[in-house]
Amino acid sequence: MSSGLTERRQTILKLVIQEFVETAQPVASETLVRKYRLNVSPATVRNELAALEELGYLMHLHTSAGRVPTDIGYRFFVENLMDRTTLSLPEQRMIRHQFYQVRGELDQWIQLAGSVLARTAQNASVVTPLRSADRLRFRQVELVAIHDTMALAVLVFHGGVVKQQTLALDAVRSPDDLRRCAARISSVLADLELSDVEDLLTRDQQQEGSEFGDFERQVLDLVARAMDAFEAQAQEQIYSDGLIEMLSQPEFIPALAREDAERAVERMRRALDILKSGRGLGSLIPQALASDGVQVIIGGENSADEMREYSVILARYGVERAVTGVLGVIGPTRMAYPRSISSVRYISSLMSDLLAELYQADQRSPES
């Protein structure tokens, strides 16, 4: 009966997916014929649908319900059937403008990207902060007086990664004091990794007379602690947004989902959990960091069981070999893939471009 994926079957598959993505209702043969003016009868379409089902691209919830795409169906759609669109120019312009307005505030880029992704894809979004491609390497520290007894330590690492940390002073220090101390430590620690810094600290401790003053010691400890904390949390930080957008999808609205309301609530709760804890995304993000282009993970294809009903679209952003992060969209497998993918692609490349401008100098003269 099934003689492979003929052209017509592909067309029908495409229509089924488009229809299902739009309406969130199982698709019936007659609907297809009527809505898309196919020049065949519903019965013919039914035969084709049955074949597509046998091939694994569609499925049936019950005997007398319309068809719903399987993960395999979506995969084929994304790979071969989808129209490759881009965001409209006005949309692009608007997004660029928003990024322009927060230029200079890198932290805000992350929030902005998350919010734009969520709005354009009408689903949840995830964004990880920029991270050095390789180990954190110290560059310099500046100490800024905030009070008589409080200073802000600004730690700068290679690749432009910055971390600030408040520091309670044991005694009143003049700005000159602070500057001298910062300069000393900057030169001592320049280009070192965390392990080097720790070595240096233990070595100094073993000598009878320390090479450093009390205050310098304090700052050194702070640096080591900060680097440690930074590396530890490097993998884990995921910013997410668009919960509301995702939860407005029919999957989470019992009346429309035509199913037990409790299941919808349970699903909602699990979705929250995924976004908050990042569970289920954990393995996907390193993978996306290591890949080029836009990654699409459909349903349970690649990850934990709890992600079986969700798709994830990820792309890397940043400056290659310097600092990179990952951003993307997450939502029910019934998702507007073309639009979500365009959105992820556009925003990742926009951010990469903007970052490249900032990092230009570094790329021209890569250090060691």
Partner DNA sequence: CTTTAGCACTCTCGAAAAGAGAGTGCCAGA
Partner DNA sequence: TCTGGCACTCTCTTTTCGAGAGTGCTAAAG
| Contact positions vs DNA (CB under 7 A) | 3, 8, 26-31, 39-44, 46-47, 49-50, 53, 60, 62-67, 258-259
Q: Which is nearer to a copy of itself, 54 or 357 (CB)?
A: 357
Residue 133 binds a copy of itself, judged by CB under 8 A: no
Residue 176 binds a copy of itself, judged by CB under 8 A: no
Residue 190 binds a copy of itself, judged by CB under 8 A: no
Please report, as residue ranges, which positions from 259 to 298 form the binding site for a copy of itself (by CB under 8 A): 260-262, 264-265, 268-269, 272-273, 276
Contact, 52 vs 72, CB < 8 A? no
**Residue 331: which of 283, 274, 257, 254 has the closest Cα?**
274
For residue 81, the SS3 value is: helix
Query: Closest approach of Cβ 38 to a copy of itself, in Å?
Result: 36
**63 contact choice in a copy of itself, DNA, none (CB below 5 to 8 Å, kind-dependent):** DNA
Q: Which residues on neighbouring strands pair with residue 241, listed in sequence order?
A: 125
Q: Which residues on neighbouring strands pair with residue 160, listed in sequence order?
A: none
Q: Which is nearer to DNA, 20 or 109 (CB)?
A: 20
Q: Which is nearer to a copy of itself, 265 or 290 (CB)?
A: 265
Distance CA 37, CA 358 (A): 52
**Residue 340: which of 256, 239, 236, 246 has the closest Cα?**
246
Residue 218 binds a copy of itself, judged by CB under 8 A: no
**3 contact choice in a copy of itself, DNA, none (CB below 5 to 8 Å, kind-dependent):** DNA
**22 contact choice in DNA, a copy of itself, none (CB below 5 to 8 Å, kind-dependent):** none
H or E segment to which residue 319 belongs = strand 310-319
**65 contact choice in a copy of itself, DNA, none (CB below 5 to 8 Å, kind-dependent):** DNA
**152 contact choice in a copy of itself, DNA, none (CB below 5 to 8 Å, kind-dependent):** a copy of itself
Distance CA 13, CA 81 (A): 9
Q: Tokens 């995969």 appear where? A: 75
243 Cβ contact list (under 8 Å, min separation 6): 124, 271, 272, 275
Query: Closest approach of Cβ 239 to DNA, in Å?
Result: 37
Distance CA 174, CA 181 (A): 11
Distance CA 82, CA 74 (A): 10
Residue 167 binds a copy of itself, judged by CB under 8 A: yes
Please report, as residue ranges, which positions from 61 to 120 form the binding site for a copy of itself (by CB under 8 A): 103-106
Query: Closest approach of Cβ 276 to a copy of itself, in Å?
Result: 6
Query: Closest approach of Cβ 342 to a copy of itself, in Å?
Result: 26
Contact, 247 vs 279, CB < 8 A? no
Residue 308 binds a copy of itself, judged by CB under 8 A: no
**60 contact choice in DNA, a copy of itself, none (CB below 5 to 8 Å, kind-dependent):** DNA
Query: Closest approach of Cβ 361 to a copy of itself, in Å?
Result: 4
Query: Closest approach of Cβ 253 to a copy of itself, in Å?
Result: 7
Give 148: exposed, middle or buried? Use CB within 10 Å, 0-12, 13-18, 19+.
exposed
H or E segment to which residue 294 belongs = strand 294-297
Q: What share of the chain is helix, strand, coil (3-state, %, to 5)?
A: 55, 20, 30
- Residue 48 carries which side chain, given as an amino acid letter? E
Residue 148 binds a copy of itself, judged by CB under 8 A: yes
**276 contact choice in DNA, a copy of itself, none (CB below 5 to 8 Å, kind-dependent):** a copy of itself
For residue 291, the SS3 value is: coil
DSSP state of 182: H
Interface residues toward a copy of itself, by CB under 8 A:
103-106, 140, 142, 144-150, 152, 154, 156, 160, 162, 164-168, 172, 222, 243-244, 247-248, 252-255, 260-262, 264-265, 268-269, 272-273, 276, 357-362, 365
